Amino acid sequence: MDRRVPAGPQDGGANGSAGTAAAAFAVDKAPLLGKKSKAGPSGRAAHYTGRMTIYVLVVALVSATGGMLFGFDVGIAMASFQEEYFPEIYTRSIAGQKDSDPYCKYHDTRLQLFSAIMFLSGAVIAVPAGLASRHFGRKISMLASGCCFLLGAGLQAGSHSLVQLIIGRCILGFGVGTAASVVPVYISEVAPYASRGGLAYLFQLAVTAGILAAQLVNYGNQYIPVWGWRLSLGLAAMPACVLCLGGLVLPESPSYLLEQGRWAEGKAVLQMLRGTDEVDAEYADICDAARASARVSAWESWKNLVTRQNLPMTIMATSLAFLQQLTGINAIIFYAPIMFDSFSKSTAALLNAVIIGGVNVAGTLVGMPLVDKVGRRPLLLEGGIQMLLSQIATCAILGAGFNSSSTLSTGTAAAALTMICLFISGFSWSWGPIVWVLGAEVQTLDTRTSGMSAVVFANYISSFIIGQAFLSMLCGMKYFAFLFFASWNLFMTLLVYYLLPETKGVPLEDTAYACLFARHPFWRRVMGKAGKQVLEREAFRAAAFRQAEAVEGGDLRDLAKYYEALGL
Ligand code: BGC
């Protein structure tokens, strides 16, 4: 069923107000249609006066803690935990069998399932989470995510059986999947367009900080014999508390408010976020997108993902999200402690994991200021090549190192660790964060929440598959597993090179995204007539903007009403 179509931004405006506004603005559509405009930051964007403010930074930081939920829950490799729940692995591990195959020591279906189950439940929840964020708002969805996480962390920390542990992990997965579906969208919607990429990196920064914090906690807790792992699992509740608080006190996203017809509130939030009252051009674009989105039902929001107009964006965003896992990142992060444990002693294993975690955080920080300057494409291309080369090198080092013995010499282990760090840094400033940035920004408001759910679904399903497969793969393929991922990195780099247009610096609620794809040599053919319509509409909007400027004598306060009068 169609949702309520907001009347229009004018105070107390009634349905059908377009006619009144049209009369008030004496709009003449005819002369606008012949004009052409370029995609990308059009004339309108130059009038988006608000810049980065402390307020928006704090808002983005608080909501980004949603990413920490994910990070906190990886890599529980402590001996006490293994002893309690995976005794066979523990026995094998302490026996230190010199003749055992180092690639197969930890090959255990139950351990793989335990690591991967969170992704399966995260994928399952992604669709309802997107619906909730569309209907009830981003804030309440963040709150729900934090609550699921608190419950899941409590169940895990107090667990007395594998069943309880797994139920806790599923509920955690609900929290994590909801956060991933909502937080990047929320950050994109509150961010000023010129810093949107960098602010959206905060989500990934929180993911990496969560992974590092969990690894540090694990490292410290190994000295608390019996219940140390409970503390590790329970501490995961901390970021959840911050997210719950955020869900209560953060402002709702302006796009959501305007889509609900809450014009005055939406404008006030936008002004607060931008630190200025002069938000008319941006407000007009959001109103325009909000009116179009409010006409679309939940079902249509999903169906529209595969219309010719949206298909290119949907294909690129979801396939990059799926392929992100084929970089091999989680295979390495999840199993780094386990891999290194099979190389050397368990303390060294956790220490190695901490080094990897640190590189992951540092790399994300390096990418943050770059993404809005050099753009998404160059980072993805550079990151892809760096990952590819370092995996080939890791494969060669491990191949040579294990050729003569079943344990690695210190020098060889250090060389392998260096290559793995190179791999992690390449991922952390490119494919790690950019998948989330693109997922939240390439769709228009009407398909944004469903598009983001599809991105999370694709990413988590692929994490689940890789999580299930990697230890078996490592055992079967040995160091050639790294070559497997390297070949995927080659494919992904080529995919970006040929098929991904650069999307930096385009305002979120602008139609210019679709224009970028409508002009692309390949996607233009996929979009067909729909692509031409997109370009015409953008040209019309840009021309309408110029005329509004002229009509109002440069005063853009009534721009939103003017667009509405034109039926935009
Ligand atoms: C990925 C995760 C990964 C993390 C590592 C995220 O972007 O989606 O699967 O564990 O980055 O930093």
Give the CA count within 13 Å in the CB-facing half-sphere of 461: 15
CB contact at 8 A, 485 and 473: no
Ligand 1 pocket: which residues have CB below 6 Å? 204, 207-208, 211, 324, 329-330, 333, 360, 432, 459, 463
CA distances from 549 to 44, 81, 126, 320, 538 (A): 10, 66, 42, 40, 17
Say what the pLDDT of residue 140 is. 96
Which atom in ligand 1 lies closest to the alpha carbon of residue 463?
9
Between the CA of 307 and the centroid of ligand 1 the distance, in Å, is: 30
Which atom in ligand 1 lies closest to the alpha carbon of residue 436?
7
H or E element in which residue 144 lies: helix 138-157
Say what the pLDDT of residue 158 is. 83
Nearest Cα residue to atom 10 of ligand 1: 330
With tokens 């110029």, the residue in question is 546
- Apex 414 CA angle, 410 and 420, nearest 5: 145
Between the CA of 560 and the centroid of ligand 1 the distance, in Å, is: 39
Say what the pLDDT of residue 413 is. 78
Between the CA of 382 and the centroid of ligand 1 the distance, in Å, is: 18
Between the CA of 34 and the centroid of ligand 1 the distance, in Å, is: 47
Q: Which of 183, 204, 207 to mutate to test the pocket of ligand 1 (most atoms within 8 A of CB)?
A: 207
Say what the pLDDT of residue 202 is. 96
Between the CA of 428 and the centroid of ligand 1 the distance, in Å, is: 8
pLDDT tens profile 344-380? 555 666 677 788 889 999 999 999 999 999 999 999 9
Rounded distance, CA 173 to CA 145, Å?
10
List % helix, strand, coil for the chain (3-state, nearest 5).
Answer: 75, 0, 25
Rounded distance, CA 509 to CA 568, Å?
13
Nearest Cα residue to atom 7 of ligand 1: 432
Which atom in ligand 1 lies closest to the alpha carbon of residue 204?
7
pLDDT tens profile 255-285? 999 999 999 999 999 999 999 998 988 898 8
Nearest Cα residue to atom 3 of ligand 1: 330
Say what the pLDDT of residue 427 is. 98
Closest to 267 (Cα-Cα) out of 275, 279, 256: 279
State the sign of the Cα–Cα–Cα–Cα dihedral 260, 265, 269, 274. positive
Nearest Cα residue to atom 1 of ligand 1: 432
Angle separating helix axes 237-249 and 54-72, nearest 10 degrees: 150
pLDDT tens profile 69-94? 887 766 455 555 666 666 666 666 55
Nearest Cα residue to atom 12 of ligand 1: 208
Q: Which of 322, 329, 430 to mutate to test the pocket of ligand 1 (most atoms within 8 A of CB)?
A: 329
What is the per-residue DSSP string for 479-519? THHHHHHHHHHHHHHHHHHHH----TT--TTSTHHHHHHHH
Rounded distance, CA 445 to CA 291, Å?
10
Read off the amino acid at residue 506. Answer: V
Between the CA of 537 and the centroid of ligand 1 the distance, in Å, is: 37
Which atom in ligand 1 lies closest to the alpha carbon of residue 330?
10
pLDDT tens profile 415-473? 888 999 999 999 999 999 999 999 999 998 999 999 999 999 999 999 988 877 877 78
Rounded distance, CA 527 to CA 512, Å?
15
Which atom in ligand 1 lies closest to the alpha carbon of residue 208?
12
Nearest Cα residue to atom 8 of ligand 1: 432
DSSP state, residue 47: G
Between the CA of 87 and the centroid of ligand 1 the distance, in Å, is: 29
Alpha helices in 260-409 (DSSP H): 263-274, 280-294, 298-303, 311-324, 329-343, 346-370, 376-404
Between the CA of 432 and the centroid of ligand 1 the distance, in Å, is: 6
Between the CA of 71 and the centroid of ligand 1 the distance, in Å, is: 8
Which atom in ligand 1 lies closest to the alpha carbon of residue 74?
10
Say what the pLDDT of residue 106 is. 60
Between the CA of 330 and the centroid of ligand 1 the distance, in Å, is: 7
Residue ranges of the chain whose pLDDT lies below 50: 1-6, 10-27, 31-41, 75, 97-99
Nearest Cα residue to atom 9 of ligand 1: 330
Q: How many residues does the structure list for the chain? A: 568
Nearest Cα residue to atom 6 of ligand 1: 432
Encoded tokens for 421:
């760090």
Rg of the chain on CA atoms, in Å: 25
Q: Which residues contact 67 (CB under 8 A, 6 or more apart)?
A: 179, 180, 183, 202, 203, 204, 205, 206, 207, 209, 210
Say what the pLDDT of residue 18 is. 39
Rounded distance, CA 119 to CA 9, Å?
41
Which atom in ligand 1 lies closest to the alpha carbon of residue 435?
7
Alpha helices in 158-262 (DSSP H): 162-190, 196-221, 228-235, 237-249, 254-259
